Amino acid sequence: MSDETPARRRVLIADDDAATRHGVAKLLENAGFEVSEAADGSAALTAIQEKQYDLVFLDIWMPELSGLEVLARIRTGTSRPKVIVMTSDGTSETLLRAVKEQAYDYLSKPFPPREAVEVAKQALSADQEPLIEVLSACPHWVELLIPCTREAAERIQTFMMKLEADLPDTVRETIASSFRELLLNAVEWGGQFDPNRKVRIASVRSPRMLMFRIADPGPGFSFEGLSHAAVGQPESEPVAHMSVREERGLRPGGFGILMTKATADELLYNEVQNEVMFIKYLDNAQVMPAK
């Protein structure tokens, strides 16, 4: 991704914490953005209605109107800038509401100030794509329809893993890697990176289990036909797929399904194998107590 910032893209920083607001604003100004500030939700909404912004950094809990209320009104208004949500409230309900109201990304406070600049550049360099649909927003049952793009997959992975914040870092990172591989396979091979096609994702959480179910719009596949993947190779030639990938001009890799099978307690495919279920069983030691 280029470090160049489009000339004078307009950004609004809405946060009732003056130190955060001024700090982020100064960094974005130094990076070449045209920046305005709002100290509460009502002022933020007025600013958005009066002026066209390309991007809004929006704190969740502010006086007058909460950031979530502002986000909902932006969604139904004529001016629809991309929105980066900022908050120290990492509860599932808040995260899911942000996704449901079409927040582009989510920054957990406190965050390194430079991260705001990087997120702004990513958001503004990304193409406008079909919306992510929220089918269920219960903390124990999240279900989404996402367009078949790499960007949407990366964004949703970030949101989904924040929902599992009570898991130890090592467990969460392992699950995150498996989820990412399965989701990227779905949007790349099943959806052919076509933004008009959708992948259906369900995340179901119980006290003793975490389950991801991912269904893609493709015709499915056969493990016997995966010459470009490690999982399709005989034990005597575990990396034979590398030459196949090179011949086809595919990116290096092909270990995703094999790695995911080793990580999951159960990995189940439907008959045509365009839908997969990843199951990880949790014990008391793997779930951190609520603070």
Per-residue pLDDT of the chain (291 residues; tens, 9 = 90+): 444 444 579 999 999 999 999 999 999 999 999 999 999 999 999 999 999 999 999 999 898 889 989 988 988 777 789 999 988 876 778 888 888 888 888 888 888 878 899 999 988 887 766 688 889 988 899 999 999 998 888 888 877 877 777 888 888 888 988 999 899 989 998 999 999 999 999 999 999 999 999 999 999 877 665 555 545 555 555 555 466 555 666 554 445 677 788 889 999 999 999 999 999 999 854 555 444
User: 3-state class of 248 per DSSP?
Assistant: helix
Q: Which CATH architecture has domain 1-126?
A: 3-Layer(aba) Sandwich (3.40)
Tokens linked to 242: 């590398």
* CA dihedral sign of residues 188, 137, 72, 115: negative
Per-residue model confidence (pLDDT) at position 143: 93
How far is it, in rounded angstroms, from Cα 35 to Cα 55?
A: 10
Instruction: Answer whether 104's CB lies under 8 Å from 84's CB.
Output: yes
Distances (CA, A) of 190 to 20, 26, 142, 249, 263: 42, 43, 21, 18, 22
Q: What is the pLDDT of residue 87?
A: 84
Closest to 149 (Cα-Cα) out of 186, 118, 175, 203: 186
Grouping H, G, I as helix, E, B as strand and the rest as coil, residue 54 is: coil
pLDDT attached to residue 280: 94
What's the Rg (C-alpha) of the chain? 21
Distances in whole angstroms, Cα of residue 131 to Cα of each of 58, 144, 196, 214: 19, 11, 10, 18
Residue 227 is predicted with a pLDDT of 56
3-state helix, strand, coil in the chain (%, to 5): 40, 20, 40
List the chain domain ranges: 1-126, 129-291
Q: Is the overall model pTM greater than 0.85, yes or no?
A: no
How far is it, in rounded angstroms, from Cα 207 to Cα 204? Answer: 10
- Rounded Cα–Cα distance for residues 8 and 61 (Å): 28
What's the CA gap between 40 and 37, in Å, rounded?
A: 9
Q: What is the pLDDT of residue 96?
A: 83
Angstrom distance (rounded) from CA 126 to CA 9? 14
What is the CATH number assigned to the segment(s) 129-291? 3.30.565.10
CA–CA separation, 38 and 58 (whole Å):
9
